[in-house]
Every structure is written in C-alpha cells, then in structure tokens.
C-alpha cells in the first residue's frame, strides 16, 4: 500500500508547508502553524506568529518549552475557530490512522522525558526536553508520515516516516505530567 496523505497532497506539496523551529522550545507553536496552514489550505501563518499567539493566550510561557496539553488544546481551538479540535490521550497507531482516514489532521505529542527525569534536570538546572510536537500527514499499511518542525532541513527528515512500531514506542513508551501517552490534538473541519 502506498502512502495516503492528508487531503490528497503529494510529498512535495506537504513539504512546502513545513517550517523549521529555530530553537529547542518552539515545536508546539511551529507544529500548530504547519497544521493550521494545512487545515486552511494556505501557507500564510508563520511559527513565530503562532508562538506569540500561544504566549498571549497563556498556553505557553514566554521562552518556555512544550505547552501543557490542556492549555495547548484550548489554544489550538482558539487559533482555529473554523475547525473542531479533539484532544485525547492513550491513543493507538490504529486510532491515529483512523483520525487521518476520517479527514482529521492530528498533531502528535511525544514525551522525551519522564517525571523523574524532569525533576532531576530541574535540580541540576539543565535544559528540559519534556516533549515534542509533530503533525501526522499520512499513513500506509505499516508506517505513519509526520511533518517534524524539529528537522533541520527539508532534506533531513522534515517529512519523517516512522514504522508503526517505532512511532508507538516513542509515542506510547513513556509520559510525563505535561504529555500523556498517545496524545493527539486532531483538527476536523466543521
């Protein structure tokens, strides 16, 4: 089975929507900019503008990293009032693919650190790597395709293809108080 992409876009068309996050803390904003542009079918919003939007709406601390899932869900709905946003945790790869099949556009949140690792890094005053946001844009029988704002260039995994098993391992393998296992924010048209 070849890949099926959101709204029938090609890989090249999807890559035109990709934006690289400039630092380690902007993935939530840049994933939302990518998803918003894809949802609206126009490539106009910039990640920096969405970063400001999230900060103004108290969904993200200025200069801070991954926003907490409840505030991110509210801010995503506010940012896309012409859509319906469903936030849910503990999803499976099958439910992620079902969301794409139903015409949804899922933003996937993965946890890079456990609560214990976060606490240890806070005590050591190290930079936290709480989690990461990517936009699921396609699937095949055994793979999920995601636009990753954390990729350095379009050529280096901007459209990252994960095997179902590899994505499930990083997506459901661990969680923390900010990012539950299997967390997605799916945008649907009204």
Looking up residue 103, the CATH number of its domain turns out to be 3.90.70.10
Q: What's this model's pTM, rounded to 2 decimal places? A: 0.91
State the residue for tokens 């930079």.
127
Query: Distance between CA atoms of 7 and 41, rounded to whole angstroms?
Result: 9
For 31-53, how does the pLDDT look when each residue is reduced to its tens digit (9 = 90+)?
Answer: 999 999 999 999 999 999 999 99
Smallest CA-to-CA distance from 98 within 110, 86, 109 is with 86
Domain hosting residue 111, numbered range: 4-189
Regions of the chain with pLDDT less than 50: none
Residue 65 has a pLDDT of 66
Would you say 160 and 151 are in contact if contact means Cβ atoms under 8 Å apart? yes
Would you list the DSSP string of 42-95?
Answer: -----HHHHHHHHHHTTSS-TT--SPPHHHHHHHHHHH-TTEEEEEESS--HHH
When divided into structural domains, the chain yields a total of: 1
Query: Distance between CA atoms of 91 and 108, rounded to whole angstroms?
Result: 10
């Amino acid at each position: 089975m070849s890949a099926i992409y959101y709204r029938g876009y090609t890989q090249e068309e999807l890559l035109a929507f990709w934006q690289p996050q400039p630092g380690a803390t902007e993935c939530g904003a840049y994933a939302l900019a990518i998803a918003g542009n894809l949802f609206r079918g126009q490539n106009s919003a910039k990640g920096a503008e969405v970063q400001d939007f999230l900060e103004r709406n108290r969904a993200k601390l200025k200069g801070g990293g991954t926003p907490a899932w409840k505030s991110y869900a509210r801010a995503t709905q506010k940012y896309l009032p012409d859509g319906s946003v469903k936030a849910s945790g503990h999803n499976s790869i099958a439910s992620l693919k079902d969301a794409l099949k139903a015409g949804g556009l899922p933003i996937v949140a993965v946890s890079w650190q456990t609560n214990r690792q976060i606490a240890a890094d806070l005590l050591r005053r190290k930079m936290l790597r709480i989690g990461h946001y990517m936009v699921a844009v396609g699937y095949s029988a055994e793979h999920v395709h995601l636009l990753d704002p954390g990729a350095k260039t379009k050529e280096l995994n901007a459209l990252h293809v994960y095997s179902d098993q590899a994505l499930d391992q990083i997506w459901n393998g661990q969680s923390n108080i900010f990012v539950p296992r299997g967390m997605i924010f799916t945008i649907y048209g009204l």
